[in-house]
């Protein structure tokens, strides 16, 4: 059976800190976070796209899938991020690589997704990360934390599909809590491979982010970067 590269786009979050669904808020003209993230996946080397949706995002997500030039489907997200990923991974049994991305990181570029795919083929995993540049200090002790070996996790996080499926099943069945896909992978006994992504890839979280995201998208459109 032909093994393929499947992209999982997570769009089932509650957007509690934004006060309304941040994935559908206009950022630049008619473009929103869900549309931008989907377009980046569509322009990458991913073969199939799975969107995990919610009541809020279902109709918009289904429209994106129907208009896509690639195979794309929606599955219902779960009560947690982990359950949403697991719901999507159930459709990845015959995939070679699974690329997991938060739709709120809508500044992602196709080349970064392709890097995650290429490196996951070699190393078994490929986690987008950035170096920490701020001074870090423990609030309780005021002790400065050495940042030289600290990485800030991003998405996409790409994995050999069979490895991340088994890692997720084990973590969920054992009740282990984890904050990203890489942590589930680590707790299954695997050593993750990181790659440094210095391109803008922030997560849309609060209203103050909208102006920054809009400016970056506008500049990209003006210079035809994407």
Residue-wise pLDDT for 112-144, tens only, equals 999 999 999 999 999 999 999 999 999 999 999
**Are residues 192 and 125 in contact, defined by beta-carbon separation less than 8 angstroms?**
yes
pLDDT at 225 > cutoff 60: no
Task: State the average pLDDT over residues 67-92.
Answer: 96
Task: State the average pLDDT over residues 14-27.
Answer: 83
Query: Chain centroid to CA 158: how far?
Result: 9
CA–CA separation, 177 and 151 (whole Å): 20
pLDDT at 103 > cutoff 70: yes
Element (H, E) at 122: helix 110-123
pLDDT tier for residue 20 given thresholds of 50, 70 and 90: confident
Considering the domain delimited by 4-127+154-223, tell me its CATH architecture: Alpha-Beta Complex (3.90)
SS3 113: helix
pLDDT tier for residue 9 given thresholds of 50, 70 and 90: very high
């Amino acid at each position: 059976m032909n093994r393929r590269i499947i992209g999982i786009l997570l769009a089932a979050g509650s957007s509690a800190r934004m006060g309304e669904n941040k994935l559908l808020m206009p950022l630049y003209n008619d473009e929103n976070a869900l549309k931008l993230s989907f377009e980046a996946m569509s322009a990458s080397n991913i073969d199939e796209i799975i969107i995990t949706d919610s009541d809020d995002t279902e109709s918009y997500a289904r429209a994106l899938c129907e208009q896509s030039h690639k195979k794309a489907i929606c599955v219902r997200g779960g009560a947690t991020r982990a359950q949403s990923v697991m719901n999507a991974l159930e459709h990845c049994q015959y995939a070679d690589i699974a690329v997991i991305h938060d739709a709120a990181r809508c500044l992602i570029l196709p080349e970064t997704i392709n890097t995650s795919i290429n490196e996951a083929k070699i190393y078994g995993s490929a986690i987008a990360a950035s170096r920490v540049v701020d001074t870090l200090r423990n609030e309780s002790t005021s002790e400065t934390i050495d940042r030289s070996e600290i990485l800030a996790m991003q998405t996409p996080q790409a994995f050999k599909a069979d490895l991340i499926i088994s890692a997720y099943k084990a973590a969920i069945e054992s009740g282990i809590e984890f904050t990203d896909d890489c942590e589930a992978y680590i707790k299954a006994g695997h050593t993750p491979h990181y790659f440094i992504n210095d391109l803008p890839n922030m997560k849309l979280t609060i209203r103050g982010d909208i102006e920054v995201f809009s400016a970056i998208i506008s500049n990209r459109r003006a210079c035809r970067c994407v």
